[in-house]
Amino acid sequence: MANRLHNSSSAYLAQHADNPVDWWEWSEEAFSEARALDKPVFLSVGYAACHWCHVMAHESFEDETIAALINQFFIPIKVDREERPDVDSIYMAATQIMTGHGGWPMSVFLTPDKKPFLAGTYFPPVDRGGQPGFSKVVTALGQAWASERARIEEQAEELAKAMRQEVTFIDRLTPTSEPPQLREVRTKLLAQLSERFHRGGFSTSPKFPRASFVNALLENEDQRSIDMALQALEAMSHGGLYDHLDGGFARYSVDEFWAVPHFEKMLCDQALLAQLYFRAGKRFHRDEFTAIARSTIDFVRRAFRVDAGFASSLDADAAGVEGSHITWTKLEIESVLRASGFEAFVDEACARWVITEQGNLEGRSVPQLSPDAPFETPEHLRPVAAALRDSRLKRPQPGRDEKVILEWNAMLACALLASPDNEHHLEALALLTNLFSSHFSDGWWRTEARRARATLADLAWLVEGCVSAFELTGEDTWLGYAQSLCGYIRDHFEDRDEDGVLRGYFSQDNQVLDIPSRTKDLFDGAVPAAHSVWTRALARLALVLGDPDLLAEAQRLILLAGTVLHDFPLEVVDLVNAAGFAFEGIEVVVPGGLHPLSTHLRLSPMIRSVLITGQGSSPLLRGRVPGLAYVCRGGACQLPVDNWADLDSQIAELIY
């Protein structure tokens, strides 16, 4: 047995390097071995911060007996879903078809030609809670491969066909021919959000912080949208989902009250939520929301920064115990504050962060804010919070996955550019510049280790960042970067029929040849779908360039999914946002250098709007008078204005 993961740059794969399982990485060599030995494949997909991935590893993959069964009957392959989202999305479709749900670890059994015949998520080592034990599953499938081969291959063929249809769902839609009725779509979206709204979230439990849902609410003026948005923003940041002593948002809440989180922290969540709270601060003129975003960014700087950018995640576990680095007992609070000279503040600290005798997680308390407590720690309690944080840092700390994912780092750059703070802007520009060198070498790569080609989502977010950088600086350099990326995406991801008609964009580069089919990512999940992000990025680029052909292409991408947009807007909420730019986009032109009007716009939420400023080559700047602002849409501009009140009025008239 020769475990092949020892030299992997993936933290997740490296976690399994000492398993007795004879792991292979995803490769043609592994499938060639399966064909040569006439063995099926066991595919295990997860990620470094995944708690249940660790549980299954300890229970099954570290068990000599179970490992021997896996090695006997299968060629085992281990995949990091963050590094290879293409492999993950393909077989997640199969898992959802077979089980009705998804999740990680994902466990899929394949024929040597990559067709799945059984799929699931976590399996216990022995029969438990109505689930069959993994050793029993492995043995039964291994024996069935030998005795019922024809039935398995027939099932695999049927499942593979269904899987291919699922991952290219958009190809089965008939494109709409008329522009979408976006007011009607937004009304339906609001109704669907209202129907699902529950205690500041959009499900009972578990509760995920869906930044895109709240962003959609921020774009409406009606009181119901405002109320839901405020409730969600406060619930997510005041409960245990937010780490009130060290900063940052956990992946999700396991309960309906946002009290007990699943403790892993992902860079993508920090980026999306920081951007949301910056926007909310501008939308509602609430300093607290801006403070939440700043605190989240400060946490990312402390905990995620690595040489090439920012790491991907922090583990849910520390020393093998989920959340042990975050939870407290009242006795622990008393001990730390007594030793630090803050004994007089024990009761006040426990009241603020709701540390109780009984706790809310196995006798321990997850810090959260008491109902009346402000988000920002009162000045007299800041030394107390610092003492508790310092004490926490002496505990065993969670592992960090240090791979620098292009998509998530570009998301973070977008969040930094949404900040009102100049230091964040400078950091964003430096990060974007660095990504152009760290992730490009004979093509674009998803991570700095250059093990997997960049996805459409990676590059779409990078275009988004470049457009936002242009809005900030007015410098043509950023438009040049965005246009270069646009050309690369066309060359590597575009799908046209034999008549040259655009059929959308694949999520994978055309140089990726080791997957059974290329996917098209339409439906939003934990992060926005690639189709939505690319459509929005393309529309925004078209608007700042004043390019009607580019805008028509973005509109075509909306029309390809027009029926879903109209009938199921909640499933494609980011595409609703993209459609706003593509069909109702507003160009606000403020020529010249730094000006109070452009500064004012950068402090506004810029709903369905782009800012064109500076002295660059955009045709929208030609013939414009510095010191005045021009609000345009669809080739028609309103009268120029010289004050922010008139400017806001003109924009609001077009938005609402």
Tens of pLDDT, residues 579-618: 999 999 999 999 998 889 999 999 999 999 999 999 988 9
Mean pLDDT, range 7-34, rounded to an integer = 94
At 6 the pLDDT is: 87
Measured distance CA(395)–CA(375) in Å, rounded: 25
Strands (E), 111-258: 116-120, 252-253
Q: Are 520 and 506 in contact (CB under 8 A)?
A: yes
The reply to whether 158 falls in a domain is yes
Q: Are residues 251 and 142 in the same domain?
A: no
Q: Are residues 343 and 234 in the same domain?
A: yes
- Asked if the model's pLDDT at residue 70 lies above 80, the reply is yes
The reply to whether 205 falls in a domain is yes
Domains: count for the chain: 3
Measured distance CA(13)–CA(47) in Å, rounded: 8
Structure tokens at 363: 């006798």
Q: Are residues 150 and 248 in the same domain?
A: no
For residue range 610-642, what is the model confidence (pLDDT) as tens digits?
A: 999 999 889 999 999 999 999 999 989 999 999
Q: Are 283 and 225 in contact (CB under 8 A)?
A: no
Query: Which of 402, 436, 456 lies at the terminal end of a domain, its last residue?
Result: 402
Q: 180 preceded by cis ω (within 30°)?
A: no
At 3 the pLDDT is: 65
For residue range 120-140, what is the model confidence (pLDDT) as tens digits?
A: 999 999 999 888 999 999 999
Strands (E), 240-373: 252-253, 261-262, 265-266, 305-306, 309-310, 313-314, 317-318, 321-322
What are phi and psi for residue 58, nearest 5 degrees?
-65, -40
The reply to whether 474 falls in a domain is no
The reply to whether 555 falls in a domain is no
The reply to whether 599 falls in a domain is yes
Give the chain's mean pLDDT.
96
For residue range 420-452, what is the model confidence (pLDDT) as tens digits?
A: 999 999 999 999 999 999 999 999 999 999 999
At 411 the pLDDT is: 98
Q: Are residues 294 and 373 in the same domain?
A: yes
Instruction: Give the H/E segment covering residue 387.
Output: helix 382-393
Helix axes 548-560, 573-584, angle to 10 degrees: 150
Neighbours of 192 (CB within 10 A): 18
Q: Are residues 210 and 75 in the same domain?
A: no
Neighbours of 280 (CB within 10 A): 26
Q: Are 269 and 275 in contact (CB under 8 A)?
A: no
Measured distance CA(305)–CA(265) in Å, rounded: 14
Q: Are residues 23 and 130 in the same domain?
A: yes
CA atoms within a 13 Å half-sphere pointing along the CA-CB vector of 507: 27
Question: In the structure, how many helices (H) and strands (E) does the chain have?
Answer: 25, 20
Measured distance CA(182)–CA(188) in Å, rounded: 10
The reply to whether 223 falls in a domain is yes
Mean pLDDT, range 521-548, rounded to an integer = 96
211 vs 216, 233, 281, 374, CA distance in Å? 9, 9, 14, 22
Residue 1's pLDDT band (cuts 50, 70, 90): very low
The reply to whether 69 falls in a domain is yes
The reply to whether 570 falls in a domain is no
250 vs 103, 233, 314, 481, CA distance in Å? 17, 15, 9, 33
Measured distance CA(151)–CA(142) in Å, rounded: 13
Residue 295's pLDDT band (cuts 50, 70, 90): very high
At 508 the pLDDT is: 97
- CA 531 centroid distance within chain: 14
Measured distance CA(192)–CA(214) in Å, rounded: 13
Which segment of 2-11, 161-170, 261-270 scores lowest on mean pLDDT?
A: 2-11
Question: Which residues does residue 25 pair with via DSSP β-bridges, in sequence order?
Answer: 78
Q: What percent of the chain has pLDDT over 70?
A: 100
In the three-class reduction of DSSP (H, G, I as helix; E, B as strand; rest coil), residue 44 is classed as: strand
Mean pLDDT, range 41-61, rounded to an integer = 95
Q: Are residues 147 and 206 in the same domain?
A: no
Q: Domain range spanning residue 596? A: 586-655
In the three-class reduction of DSSP (H, G, I as helix; E, B as strand; rest coil), residue 359 is classed as: coil
CATH number at residue 602: 3.40.30
Residue 59's pLDDT band (cuts 50, 70, 90): very high
- Asked if the model's pLDDT at residue 195 lies above 90, the reply is yes
Query: Which of 402, 429, 455 lies at the terminal end of a domain, its last residue?
Result: 402
Q: Are residues 245 and 117 in the same domain?
A: no
Q: Are 498 and 637 in contact (CB under 8 A)?
A: no
Query: Which of 336, 369, 402 lies at the terminal end of a domain, its last residue?
Result: 402
Q: Are residues 142 and 245 in the same domain?
A: no
For residue range 471-512, what is the model confidence (pLDDT) as tens digits?
A: 999 999 999 999 999 999 999 999 999 999 999 999 999 999
Residue 7's pLDDT band (cuts 50, 70, 90): confident
- Asked if the model's pLDDT at residue 319 lies above 70, the reply is yes
Q: Are residues 102 and 63 in the same domain?
A: yes
Query: Which residues lie below 8 Å from residue 556, measured CB to CB, with a gap of 6+?
Result: 175, 502
At 2 the pLDDT is: 55
Q: 528 preceded by cis ω (within 30°)?
A: no
Start-to-end C-alpha separation, the chain = 65
Q: Are residues 291 and 365 in the same domain?
A: yes
Q: Are residues 81 and 224 in the same domain?
A: no
Measured distance CA(240)–CA(252) in Å, rounded: 10
Measured distance CA(348)–CA(55) in Å, rounded: 37
Measured distance CA(413)–CA(405) in Å, rounded: 12
CATH number at residue 150: 3.40.30.10
